[in-house]
Amino acid sequence: MTLLLQANTFSLFSVNDLRLIAPELILTMCGCIALVMEVILPYKKSKWTAYFALTGIALAAFSLVMLWSGNRDSLPLSGFYGMVRIDGFALLFKFIFLVAAALAIGIATRFLDIEGEQHGEYYALVLFATVGMMFLGSGYDLILLYISLELMALTFYVLVAFTKREKRSNEAAMKYFLLGAFSSGILLYGMSLLYGIAGSTNVGEIGQSVAAIVGSVKTAEAGDAIKGLRPMLLLGMIALAAGLFFKISAVPFHMWAPDAYEGAPTSVTAFLSTGSKAASFALYARIFISALGDMRADWAPLLGLVAAITIFVGNWGAVTQENSKRLLAYSSISNAGYLLLGLVAGNLYGYVGIFIYLLVYTLMNMGAFGIVISLRRRGIIGDNVDDMAGLAHKAPGMAAMMAIFMLSLGGLPLTGGFMGKYYLLLGLWQRGQVEGKASGKTWYYWLAGWAIINIVISFYYYLRFIKVMYLGDRIADDKPLSLSPALRTALAVSVLGIIIIGVYPQPIISFAQDLIRQWMH
Amino acid sequence: MEGPQLSWYLALSAILFTIGVVGVIIKRNVIAMFMCIELMLNAVNLTFVAFSSYFRDVTGQLFVFIVMTVAAAEAAVGLGIIITIFRNRESLDVDEASVLKL
């Protein structure tokens, strides 16, 4: 009897599969321990939970590196009956998520102290959200992708509502929750239609069915039955695209972003605008490239159009903003548009651009929000652009860092933001050349030109921060900034990362190229 | 084949889904909006079950269990958020939640 039981468990999954999800297992474990620590530790020592969570992230990063270096030549690895797939794509995205989580914890300790909400659950929730993101990177089955998306989303609803005495936080959480759940419903409807087309929830098998349908439409000889599935396929594609537009805050479903970003605790806003966005892009790329890759001709124009409008609307909203969190929210909307260009490009440079830009974007947004946090203290919120007036006289170092973050967000050469935008546009340009020769389509060039015009416009509002900091004739207040070692470290790491990627990008780009090339073949 | 065909189920679930979407858009009470979202999820469940029995494949039914579990977790978090809002402002009308504006 015992033997039979053992035989069954062994056939259920092989223990070897566990090493594929070792980083996630470590993070889950640390999250559970962090929850217990919150109960045991007195309030004044809650920060220990933060350091513990950082240790957990470091361990997970270590095991991720081991996973990569141990299987460098045997990628992609697949486990749990094809549910989990470790390929170059998954490894790169997991790296971004770990960086985002570590920085989010680094800038959160100070913020929660100021707010008087230093609870250990915060760090546990950040870890759980990170687990969800990491499974979004490596999931290869709609069921797993859905669960991990919801794991991430549910923890973010709680995080946005974390300062529960604050009305703005409540309201942001309500709006984010309603629209998030709504968009998950739409996404799920798309998934159900894909299941109906393929009869399987595996992304690879869906990809084969989609290829068969698209092929049958082209040849027009195959039986009518399979051709009749095309409308359903289109409906599913549109439902998936719409649900994901919500998640990445692209037009026309971007309206929740400014409210949620402004009302949420600033440290959560930073994590929401980087980690959650990167994870949603991982899901986008996984579904649209691996499952719907053969429908490119159908979805590329849709995504291109949405990208063009998103870039413009984000810029337009940011130009007139006075609140810096809201301004950064609009900037993150327009950045979602630039990132969509990488998917529209759909070639090596486009994907490298998505990776580099998401990484740099994580660093610079975390940094910018970190500076906003350092301006905050009890009673004074420090959320307005004008609160930075005279920062250059009061704290030259911080002002210089903020200037670097802003110039990088704009995309000035020699900063990381430039490299990301350069590769995204280069990929789009190459795709334009290929398509131009094949079918005479020129809209790729127009799209690239439109993006460049908007990059120039975006400098207007990024430079406004610098103008206020350096040329303001007054100092907002002369109290010292509220800094902590963790916040200082997070800021320093962000600045260093941006400068290194901007000045000497070769190692990281060739690293990303190798992994992505492996993934594309 | 006995009983209704696959397309009937799909049509019903599409109608239910549309009712849910329209409800979320026009309702102004948080609880009512939340109920409409649940209706959308259940419409999706119906699609999954219909396909699952059509293909004689168990994956779709498995997905339904997962969706129901996640929906329960979502309800727990959502109602928690709704309670904090009610404590702070004694109203569940979304139009009155307007501290955050341009």
Give the chain A residue whose CA is nearest to the CA of B87: A165
Tell me, what's the pLDDT at B44?
A: 96
Whether B81 contacts chain A with CB within 8 A: yes
Our CA-based measurement puts residue B81 at a distance from the nearest CA of chain A, in whole angstroms, of: 6
Residues 6 or more apart in contact with residue A94 via CB below 8 angstroms: A23, A64, A134, A137, A138
Our CA-based measurement puts residue B27 at a distance from the nearest CA of chain A, in whole angstroms, of: 12
Give, in order, the Cα–Cα distances in Å from B67 to each of A413, B50, B72.
47, 15, 9
Q: Which of B40, B51, B97 sits opposite A174 (nearest CB)?
A: B97
Q: Which of A142, A161, A168 sits opposite B81 (nearest CB)?
A: A161
Give the total number of structural domains in chain B.
Answer: 1
Contact A188 B51 (CB under 8 A): no
Contact A157 B81 (CB under 8 A): yes
Tell me, what's the pLDDT at B42?
A: 95
Band (A7; pLDDT cuts 50, 70, 90)? low
Q: Which residues of B touch A200 (CB under 8 A)?
A: 57, 59
Q: Which residues of A touch B57 (CB under 8 A)?
A: 199-200
Structure tokens at A294: 């053969």
The verdict on residue B17 lying in a domain is: no
Contact B63 A195 (CB under 8 A): yes
- For testing the chain B interface, which of A125, A170, A194, A321 should be mutated: the one with the most B CBs within 10 Å? A170
Q: Which of A150, A195, A262 sits opposite B51 (nearest CB)?
A: A195
Q: Which residue has the higher pLDDT, A312 or A225?
A: A312
Q: Which of A181, A193, A263 sits opposite B78 (nearest CB)?
A: A181
Tens of pLDDT, residue by residue over A71-113, are 888 878 888 888 999 988 899 999 999 999 999 999 998 888 8
Q: Which of A147, A158, A199 sits opposite B55 (nearest CB)?
A: A199
Q: Which of B10, B44, B85 sits opposite A170 (nearest CB)?
A: B85
Contact A174 B81 (CB under 8 A): yes
B36: containing domain: 28-89
Tell me, what's the pLDDT at A176?
A: 93
End-to-end CA distance of chain A: 46
Contact B48 A192 (CB under 8 A): yes
Tens of pLDDT, residue by residue over A399-437, are 999 999 999 999 898 899 999 999 999 999 999 999 888
The verdict on residue B80 lying in a domain is: yes
Q: Is the pLDDT of residue A283 over 80?
A: yes
Contact B99 A258 (CB under 8 A): no
Contact B70 A146 (CB under 8 A): yes
Q: Which residue has the higher pLDDT, A425 or A381?
A: A425
Tens of pLDDT, residue by residue over A288-325, are 999 998 888 889 999 999 999 999 999 999 998 888 88
Contact B89 A167 (CB under 8 A): yes
What residues 22-41 of chain B have any CB closer than 8 A to a CB of chain A?
Answer: 24, 30, 33-34, 37, 40-41
Q: Which residue has the higher pLDDT, A117 or A170?
A: A170
Mean residue pLDDT across chain A: 89
Please state the domain extents for chain A: 14-520
| Candidate from A57-66, A127-136, A382-391, B38-47 with smallest mean pLDDT | A382-391
Whether B74 contacts chain A with CB within 8 A: yes
DSSP structural state of residue B29: B
Contact B88 A170 (CB under 8 A): yes
Residues 6 or more apart in contact with residue A194 via CB below 8 angstroms: A142, A206, A236, A240, A291
DSSP string, B41-57: HHHHHHHHHHHHHHHT-
**A224-234 burial string, b = 16+ CB within 10 Å, else e?**
eeeeebbeebe
d(CA B54, CA A89): 35
Tell me, what's the pLDDT at B3?
A: 66
Q: Which residues of B touch A195 (CB under 8 A)?
A: 48, 51, 59-60, 63
Give, in order, the Cα–Cα distances in Å from A60 to each of A36, A53, A270, A450.
20, 10, 21, 41
Our CA-based measurement puts residue A116 at a distance from the nearest CA of chain B, in whole angstroms, of: 18
- Write the CATH number for B56: 1.10.287.3510
Q: For chain B, how big is the Rg over CA atoms in Å?
A: 17
Size of interface A-B (CB pairs under 8 A): 116
DSSP structural state of residue A321: -
Nearest to A405 by CA among A115, A103, A108, A169: A103
Contact B78 A201 (CB under 8 A): no
HSE-CB at A150 with a 13 A cutoff on CA atoms is 23
Q: Which residues of A touch B102 (CB under 8 A)?
A: 258
Q: Which residues of B touch A242 (CB under 8 A)?
A: none
Q: Which residues of A touch B78 (CB under 8 A)?
A: 157, 177, 181
In three-state form (DSSP H/G/I as H, E/B as E, the rest C), the secondary structure along A329-369 is HHHHHHHHHHHHHHHHHCCHHHHHHHHHHHHHHHHHHHHHH
Q: Which residues of A touch B51 (CB under 8 A)?
A: 192, 195-196, 199
Q: Is the pLDDT of residue A5 over 90?
A: no
Band (B22; pLDDT cuts 50, 70, 90)? very high
Average pLDDT over residues A235-261: 92
Tell me, what's the pLDDT at A278?
A: 95
Our CA-based measurement puts residue A209 at a distance from the nearest CA of chain B, in whole angstroms, of: 14
Residues 6 or more apart in contact with residue B2 via CB below 8 angstroms: none
Give the chain B residue whose CA is nearest to the CA of A158: B77
Band (B102; pLDDT cuts 50, 70, 90)? very low
Q: Which residues of B touch A163 (CB under 8 A)?
A: none
Tell me, what's the pLDDT at A1?
A: 47
Tell me, what's the pLDDT at A77?
A: 87
Contact B84 A170 (CB under 8 A): yes
Average pLDDT over residues A495-519: 91
